[in-house]
Amino acid sequence: MTGKAVQTQEMTFVQKLNGTWHERALWVYLAIVILHWIEHLFQAAQIWILEMARPDALGALGYVFPWLVKSEVMHFSYALIMFVGLVLLLPGFRGASRNWWLASTIIQGWHLVEHTTLQIQALVGSNLFDSPVPTSFLQPFIPRPELHLVYNLIVFIPMIVAMWLHTRPSQDAVNNCFCATPPYTAPTAVAPA
Amino acid sequence: MSLWQVYPDVGSAMTPHLIVMFDGQEPGPDTEVRVMVGSDSVDVIPSATTERAWETTVGVAPGDLVTVTISNNDGTWDMPTILIPEPLTSVLPMRLLIAISIFLATAVAWWAGGRTAQAWRRPLPSRGVG
C-alpha cells in the first residue's frame, strides 16, 4: 500500500473521495447506477417484450408510485446525481481508465442538458416543437423511452470499461486509491510459544 | 391550431390518437370541435392532459384522412384534410438492445457485488497511517 494517499485533516472532501474513499465510493455509486438501470430495463421489457400499453408501462417503482415516473423532477434529479458522481470521482482515475470515465461524463453531460431542458419545459409550461408534452431535442427522431434507454446504455458502457480498467491489479502502482489493491486478508493470530 | 398524434398503444402496434390544440389562444365556451375520419364522425372530448385541447377517444389508423372542423358563434372553419402518417417507431433493434442490456446489467451486478464486499472488508487507513 505504499504510495497511496494518506488521509490527513488538511485533505479536502474531493481529495479523500479520490484517495482512501475512492474504492467504497465507486461501488456505492455503481449500485445506484445499476438500480436506476434496472428500472429503465424493466420499463423497456414491459413495452417491447410484454407489449404493455405505454401509459401502463411504468417500470417497477411506477407500480407503487405512478406519479414518480411521470414526474420530470425525478428524471432530472437522477441525471444530475449521476453527472455529479461522474465528475467527483473522475480525479481518481488514471491513464486509459480516465479517458473512458471522461467519455461517460461527457455523454452524461449531454443527457443532463436534455433533462434540464425537459425540466424547464415542465416548469414553464411551454414545450419544444409545440409538443403537448415536454420533449427532448432528439425526440422527433427517436421516441422518448427508446432515446433515454440508449442514453443510459451509452453512459453505462464506458463507465464499466473505466471501472474494469481502473481495478485491474496492474493499476495498483499508479492509482492513488485502493481500488486495484489485492483483497485484504486479516492477519492470523500466532499462538504464544 | 395544431393537430398532434399520441401513441397510447403497445410498442409494436401503436395507433395514433389525435389531440387538437389551440396554440396561445383560449377557445371560448361556445367553441365546438368536430373530427371526421374519412366519412365517419368520431367522439372528441376535452383533453385531460393538455390545456386548450380536445382529443379523440379512439385511435385512427395510418392512411386515414382526418378533417377537423372548429365552430363557435362567429362561424365555422374546416381545417385542411390530414393524411395520418405511419407512427413514429424506433429504427433501433430494441429487443436486441434490451437483451444485451439485461445481460450486461446482470454481469456487472454480479461483479460489483463481489467487489463491494471486498471493499468493505478492507479497513480504511486511519489518519496519518500510510
Which residue type occupies A76?
Answer: F
Contact (CB<8Å) A160/B95: no
Is 0.80 surpassed by the pTM of this model? no
Q: Are residues B30 and B72 in the same domain?
A: yes
pLDDT at position B130, please?
A: 39
Does the CB of A27 have a partner CB in chain B at under 8 Å?
yes
Contact pairs from chain A to chain B, CB under 8 Å: 124
- Residue A6 maps to a domain: no
Task: Name the residue facing A7 among B112, B116, B127 (closest C-beta).
Answer: B127
Contact (CB<8Å) B10/A178: no
Q: What is the pLDDT of residues B73-100, one digit of tens each?
A: 888 888 888 887 665 566 778 888 889 9
Q: What is the pLDDT of residues A49-104, one digit of tens each?
A: 887 766 667 777 777 777 766 667 778 888 899 999 999 999 999 999 999 999 99
Task: Name the residue facing A184 among B47, B115, B123 (closest C-beta).
Answer: B123
Q: Are residues B63 and B101 in the same domain?
A: no
What share of chain A has pLDDT > 70, as a percent?
A: 88
Closest-CA residue of B relative to A146 is B90
pLDDT in tens, chain B (130 residues): 555 555 444 444 445 556 676 766 777 788 888 888 888 888 888 776 667 778 777 767 778 888 888 888 888 888 888 887 665 566 778 888 889 999 999 999 999 999 999 999 988 765 444 3
| Residue A5 · residue A163 · CB < 8 Å | no
Domain that holds residue A83: 13-173
Q: Are residues B75 and B12 in the same domain?
A: yes
pLDDT at position B27, please?
A: 77
- Residue A73 maps to a domain: yes
- Residue A37 maps to a domain: yes
Domain that holds residue B110: 90-123
| Residue B60 · residue B66 · CB < 8 Å | yes
- Residue A162 maps to a domain: yes
Q: How many domains does chain A have?
A: 1
Q: What is the pLDDT of residues A27-56, one digit of tens each?
A: 999 999 998 888 888 888 887 888 776 666
Q: What is the mean pLDDT of residues A169-182?
A: 91
pLDDT at position A161, please?
A: 97
- Residue A184 maps to a domain: no
- Residue A1 maps to a domain: no
- Residue B18 maps to a domain: yes
- Residue B128 maps to a domain: no
Question: CA A52 to CA B21: how far, in whole Å?
Answer: 27
Question: CA A42 to CA A32: how far, in whole Å?
Answer: 16
- Residue A188 maps to a domain: no
- Residue A116 maps to a domain: yes
Q: Are residues B94 and B58 in the same domain?
A: no
